[in-house]
Amino acid sequence: QQQVKQSPQSLIVQKGGIPIINCAYENTAFDYFPWYQQFPGKGPALLIAIRPDVSEKKEGRFTISFNKSAKQFSLHIMDSQPGDSATYFCAASFSGGYNKLIFGAGTRLAVHP
């Protein structure tokens, strides 16, 4: 049973647009929510992460919004650029020690010039 549901599967935006990728989780005990970015032919790399004690976190043009009551979190990319074209994965886990990351299915983003 998929514990982290991600949408949409794919997304196309124009340069400068603000793509939004959404994720929903089931286990209320999760307390670590990262986003990973993957370019073709490469392994995923951590982009930004949030813990449930805050509702928003920004790092450069990337923002995570977190809604604990709805069990949802989303990634916003401000002023998107063609170089942001990649696959994005949300994930959830427990913090501390080794804890299994549960990944969403991924969103393939294309930013057109």
Partner 1 sequence: NAGVTQTPKFQVLKTGQSMTLQCAQDMNHEYMSWYRQDPGMGLRLIHYSVGAGITDQGEVPNGYNVSRSTTEDFPLRLLSAAPSQTSVYFCASSSRRGSGNEQFFGPGTRLTVL
Cis peptide bond upstream of 8, omega within 30 = yes
Interaction pattern, residues 48-67, with partner 1; x per rule: CB under 8 A: -x------------------
Task: Report the 10 Å Cβ neighbour count for 24.
Answer: 18
| One residue of 11, 103, 109, 111 binding partner 1 per CB under 8 A | 103
| One residue of 25, 66, 73, 89 binding partner 1 per CB under 8 A | 89
| One residue of 17, 20, 71, 105 binding partner 1 per CB under 8 A | 105
Nearest one of 84, 102, 106, 82 to 92, comparing CA atoms: 102
